[in-house]
Copies of this chain bind each other. A is one copy, B any other.
Amino acid sequence: MTPSCEAGLHLDPKVRADAVLRLKSIRGHVEGILGMLDRESVYCVDVLKQTKAVTGALDKVGALILRSHLQHHVVTAAQRGDVDEIVAEMMELLKYR
């Protein structure tokens, strides 16, 4: 449990519902790649294109949640008084993105 969690910082319900839909689709996509890998004759680049597409889909989920986090929690940190934690979390998340 992070301090921010105790402060009642929850993911916006609409964004949460959207993320669920997208992650279900991502799970299906991973399933599809597993299907491709059943074939002995599968070509490396065809798999790589699919793993790259899944990474792209995950990045979109990440961007949605990040935007919501910025909008609802980061811009209000000074008012709440947890600037240091919020900034440290953001910097950790943005490393090697």
Contact = CB atoms under 8 A, between A and B. Distances in A.
A96 to B, nearest CB: 6
Contacts of A23: 30, 33-34, 37
A30 B33 contact: no
A24 to B, nearest CB: 7
Interface of A: 2, 4-5, 8-11, 13, 16, 19-20, 23-24, 26-27, 30-31, 33-34, 37, 40-49, 51-52, 54-55, 58-59, 61-63, 65-71, 73-79, 83, 86-87, 89-91, 93-97
A61 B75 CA distance: 23
B13 A48 contact: no
A48 B74 CA distance: 14
A14 B47 CA distance: 15
A59 B27 CA distance: 16
Given A23-B30, A51-B58, A40 B75 contact: no
